[in-house]
Structure 1
Amino acid sequence: MMNVDQIKEQIRAFFAGREDVTAVYLYGSAAQDRLTPHSDIDIGVLYKEDAQPDFQQKMSDTAALSTQLNREVDLVTLNRASPILRMQVLKKGELLINNVPHQVNLFFIKTINDYFDLKQVRRPIEEHLREVTIYG
Structure 2
Amino acid sequence: MKQSIRKAITERLERRDEILLAFVYGSAAVGRDTSDSDLDIAILFKNGPFPDQEAAIRDELEEVSGKEIDLLSLNNASPIIRMQVVKGGQVLLARGSAREEFFTRTVNEYDDLKYIRREIEKNIHKGRIYA
After TM superposition, is the score higher than 0.5? yes
CA-to-aligned-CA distance 1:22-70 (integer Å, 9 cap, x gap): 111111100100001221101111111xx32311221121122122211
TM-score (norm 1): 0.82
> Which of the residues 83, 101, 107 maps onto 1:106?
101
> Which of the residues 15, 19, 22 maps onto 1:21?
19
Matching of residue 122 in structure 1 with residue 122 in structure 2:
no
Q: What is the aligned residue count? A: 127
Choose between structure 1 and 2: higher helix proportion.
1
Comparing 84-93 and 58-67, the one that deviates more? 58-67
User: 2:56 is matched with which residue?
Assistant: 60
Matches within 5 A, 1:9-88: 9-48=7-46, 51-88=47-84
Which whole-Å CA distance do the structure 2 matches of 1:126 and 1:67 have between them?
47
Which whole-Å CA distance do the structure 1 matches of 2:53 and 2:98 have between them?
22
User: 1:134 is matched with which residue?
Assistant: none
Identity %: 37
1:129 Cα shift? Answer: 7.4
TM-score (norm 2): 0.85
SS at match of 1:79: coil
CA-to-aligned-CA distance 1:73-108 (integer Å, 9 cap, x gap): 1111112111011111111111111112x2321111
Q: CA RMSD for the aligned pairs?
A: 2.1
Contact 2:49–2:75 (8 Å) recurs in 1:
no
Contact 2:22–2:43 (8 Å) recurs in 1:
yes
